[in-house]
Chain A
Amino acid sequence: MVKQLVAVFLAAILTENYVLSKFLGICPFLGVSKKVNTALGMSAAVTFVMVLSTAVTYPIYENILVPFGLEYLQTIVFILVIAGLVQLVEIILKKYMPPLYNSLGIYLPLITTNCAVLGVTMLVLEKAAADPSYTYVTALVNSFGAGIGFLVAMVVFAGVRGRLETADIPNSLKGLPITLVSASLVSVSFLGFAGLVEGMMG
């Protein structure tokens, strides 16, 4: 059981990295990765929202959508629930944790319709349908791992971009082109982790 959770967690970070392997959540990955500080703030908010939305959408899917035969509505329902949830979290943070709200505040509304968050909640259900040993707890660990994977990708890429600042880049590649080229190289480097987790745990 614990072994499976660790494997799921590591796989979510390294082999199934949502940004670098599944190419979800690319806009914050490119937009907020200029500085390590903001990258960390954004990733923390994403991780938090990912776990929270999986915790809520999983039971909704199992207990409401499946009995009514409405699986095909999961995208629209999940967006609705995640958006409401993020708003709720924002209101509560504003009241009880103003410092945290001030540091996460600008990122929270951005995450409301982040595809990585929606992707995690939906892919987790796909996996649960395929694997009977995949439980609610596994889903939560998976989404937490996905968030940490997002954080790793953001921080690694923020470092790469820091180096780009001082690099001598050809004029035609300056700005977004070189950013996309380096993003693809970082993504290719994560391919090297394929099979690593199975090899370690298998």
Chain B
Amino acid sequence: MNEILIAVLVVGAIGLVVAVVLSFASVFFAVPVDERVEKLTEALPGANCGACGYSGCSGYAQALSKGEAKPGACPVGGEAVAAELAAILGVEAQSQARTTARVMCSGSCDNTGKRINYKGITSCSAANQILGGGGKCSYGCIGLGDCVSECEYGAIKVCNGVAMVNESLCRSCKKCVLACPKGLIEIVPVRSAAVLCSNHDKGVQTKDLCSIGCIGCMKCQKVCEHGAIKVDNFKASVDPQRCTLCGKCAEVCPKGVIKAAAPQ
């Protein structure tokens, strides 16, 4: 009996000492944790895409709690999440222009043709290894859908040989931007005009390759009152910050490659 008692007492005493030391340690060495971080992480969509510029949603939540980041940097969550984050932080939500991915190519099967009959792996990056894909235009969309498989929101489809973004579904997570071996996809504000071509060849060459390609005729640059369009290296590009979506560039474009329609 005595032996059992001693054993129980000794082990109990050791356990007690460990418990006391641990509970003191947890008080003395407590690290102040911002409780908002957990709430912020919950409010975020959890896509961990990194489009906000931080390492995943938890990284952004930490930066938010420290005041290093502002709500509204999450393109996936959009304005609803921005408002929620702002409510948790107790600041006012800033509305941010909605952005979308755009495929800067209009080279559908009707507008351009094939140079080689590619029959390899159905992947743009694989096809790109073989003479830059099968299309006539070496800048254009290969159309095998690397961006489609990368998109988590079903916002991209390959229609008639060229990838198209459904702008109402796009969350600007940039995954397609990284997936495109041609670098055709850009994240731009929804409310801005876009030159849907990436061909930097001279106008004459572009004409041969694609019926809708930008030939660098400078008409849009001249007509734009806000200096939003610049032709550089035989291709026009839109500065979304200056574009007011007046639509004049789209009117004068002889190729009809500029899209300046307001989103529905």
Contacts and interface: CB of A to CB of B under 8 A. Distances in A.
Interface of A: 60, 64-65, 68-70, 73, 76-77, 80-81, 84, 87-88, 91-92, 94-96
Nearest to A64: B10
A64 B22 CA distance: 20
A174 to B, nearest CB: 24
B11 A73 contact: yes
A68 B6 contact: yes
A64 B17 CA distance: 13
Which 9 pairs across A and B sit closest by C-beta, in order of nearness?
A84-B18, A95-B29, A91-B25, A91-B29, A88-B25, A94-B31, A68-B10, A68-B6, A95-B31
B7 interface: yes
B14 interface: yes
Interface residues of B, number: 16
B31 A80 contact: no
A38 B21 CA distance: 31
Given A80-B15, A91-B29, A92-B29, A70 B10 contact: yes
A65 B6 CA distance: 10
A96 B29 CA distance: 8
Contacts, number: 45
Interface string B157-186: 000000000000000000000000000000
A80 B10 contact: no
19 contacts: A64-B14, A65-B10, A68-B6, A70-B10, A70-B11, A73-B11, A76-B11, A77-B14, A80-B18, A81-B18, A84-B19, A87-B22, A91-B29, A92-B29, A94-B29, A94-B31, A95-B29, A95-B31, A96-B29
A88 B6 CA distance: 27
Contacts of B11: 70, 73, 76-77, 80
A119 to B, nearest CB: 20
Contacts of B22: 84, 87-88, 91
B26 interface: yes
A84 B21 contact: yes
A185 to B, nearest CB: 37
Interface of B: 3, 6-7, 10-11, 14-15, 18-19, 21-22, 25-26, 29-31
B14 A60 contact: yes
A65 B10 CA distance: 8
Given A70-B6, A76-B11, A95-B31, 15 more contacts: A69-B6, A70-B7, A70-B10, A70-B11, A77-B11, A77-B14, A80-B11, A80-B14, A80-B15, A84-B19, A84-B21, A88-B21, A91-B22, A91-B26, A96-B29
A87 B18 CA distance: 10
Given A94-B31, A95-B31, A81 B14 contact: yes
Q: Which of B3, B14, B30, B31 has the most CB of A within 10 A?
A: B14
A194 to B, nearest CB: 38
Contacts of A65: 10
B39 to A, nearest CB: 21
A65 B7 CA distance: 9
Contacts of A84: 18-19, 21-22
A58 B14 CA distance: 14
Contacts of A95: 29-31
Contacts of A88: 21-22, 25
A113 B124 CA distance: 50
Contacts of A92: 25, 29
Contacts of B26: 91
A31 B10 CA distance: 36
Contacts of A94: 29, 31
B85 to A, nearest CB: 25
